[in-house]
Amino acid sequence: MTKDAVENVVIVGSGPAAWTAALYAARARLSPLVVEGAPSREMIPGGQLMFTTEVENYPGFPDGVTGQLLMERMKAQAVRFDTRVLTDDIVTVETSGRPFVLRTAGGDELRSRSVVIATGARANWLGLEHEQRLAQSGGGVSACAVCDGALPAFREKVLAVVGGGDSAMEEATYLTKFARKVVIIHRRDEFRASTIMTEKALQDPKIDVAWNTVVTDVLGDDFITGLRLQDTISGEERELEVGGLFLAIGHTPNTAFLRNTVELDEDGYIVTARSWRTETSVPGIFAAGDVMDPYYRQAVTAAGTGCMAALEAERWLAHGGAAARAEASPAASTS
């Protein structure tokens, strides 16, 4: 990169959506620059899959693959086609003029004719020490039942789901396919979930509910063995033996740096201008992956929208977007 370079496309993020967008953009000879993010306590380059030990539902890996290896291979494939990578965070995106101006936490200023936002969403956790330790080590704590619930480690076990919304009901119902019993732990005496989802869960003979209850500790050394629970009314504590814990208390999209830039919904997810398209409220800025998808939140769907965003960016540039694409490619040095 040089100081005065104008990129054709800057891709912000480093999960399946970002690397797929980079792959497609690179093969279209757009010489993409990926700003993959800097490691922090909450997120690391590669996104949520970096905390997933085994991925069994990504096509092309019949024996499964670790989340870390999957992201490593996606990145390597994009880099093979001359994708350039910057390890930093984007803190602001200026859209008042063209090209767009993106500023990094490290003080760099990037200018680009188009932008793909693929910063993902982070799962909400309880914030307990052992919860985080076991989640990051593959010790039976997860924030995605659809991703992990079918793993052999959870078969015929008593599994716990924390939450009270539709997501919690969906996760609990899904887990009944594999678990001996599922216990929904909810801090109130009624669910926030829709009536139909609540009824479906409560009528399932394999689902029990621990009302007015919170988790105060997660037990187990290498793998979860139980939970310490507290009654929110009486304060009484007890232990519950479980073989897995699934958090279903929502996700937070990584869009704080986009406030007053593109349209966001009430939960902070990017709103796309048209269904089945990735362009945002600002022409030339596209969104892919969990940052614009609060419903599916799967690696394969994120990768699909990354492909879509790259194709849309390529077509937008080819049809004169941002005063048309420059003949000369941006600097080809790798950072």
Question: Could you read off the pLDDT of 146-202 as tens digits, one per residue?
Answer: 889 999 999 999 999 999 999 899 999 999 999 999 999 999 999 999 999 999 999
**How far is residue 11's CA from residue 132's CA, in Å, rounded to a whole number?**
29
**How far is residue 60's CA from residue 57's CA, in Å, rounded to a whole number?**
9
331 is a domain residue: no
Q: What is the pLDDT of residues 118-147, one digit of tens each?
A: 999 988 999 999 998 999 888 999 998 988
pLDDT of residue 108: 93
1 is a domain residue: no
71 is a domain residue: yes
Mean pLDDT to the nearest integer, 202-226: 98
pLDDT band, residue 2 (cuts 50/70/90): low
Length of the chain in terms of residues written: 335
Total count of domains within the chain: 2
Using the predicted structure, report yes or no on whether residue 333 has a pLDDT greater than 80. no
Residue 174: CATH number of its domain: 3.50.50.60
On whether the CB atoms of residues 297 and 8 are closer than 8 A, the answer is no
Name residue 94's beta-bridge partners. Answer: 101
Q: What is the pLDDT of residues 263-285, one digit of tens each?
A: 999 999 999 999 999 999 999 99
159 is a domain residue: yes
Q: Domain end: 247, 266, 300, which one?
A: 247
108 is a domain residue: yes
Q: What is the pLDDT of residues 9-34, one digit of tens each?
A: 999 999 999 999 999 999 999 999 99
* Domain identity same for 145 and 44: no
* Domain identity same for 168 and 255: no
Expressed as residue numbers, the domain containing 228 is 125-247
* Domain identity same for 226 and 132: yes
pLDDT of residue 248: 94
Mean pLDDT to the nearest integer, 307-321: 94
* Domain identity same for 169 and 257: no
On whether the CB atoms of residues 118 and 287 are closer than 8 A, the answer is yes
203 is a domain residue: yes
* Domain identity same for 161 and 107: no
On whether the CB atoms of residues 243 and 227 are closer than 8 A, the answer is no
221 is a domain residue: yes
Mean pLDDT to the nearest integer, 221-243: 97
**How far is residue 103's CA from residue 109's CA, in Å, rounded to a whole number?**
5
Q: Domain end: 200, 228, 247, which one?
A: 247
206 is a domain residue: yes
Write out the catalytic residue numbers: 144, 147-148
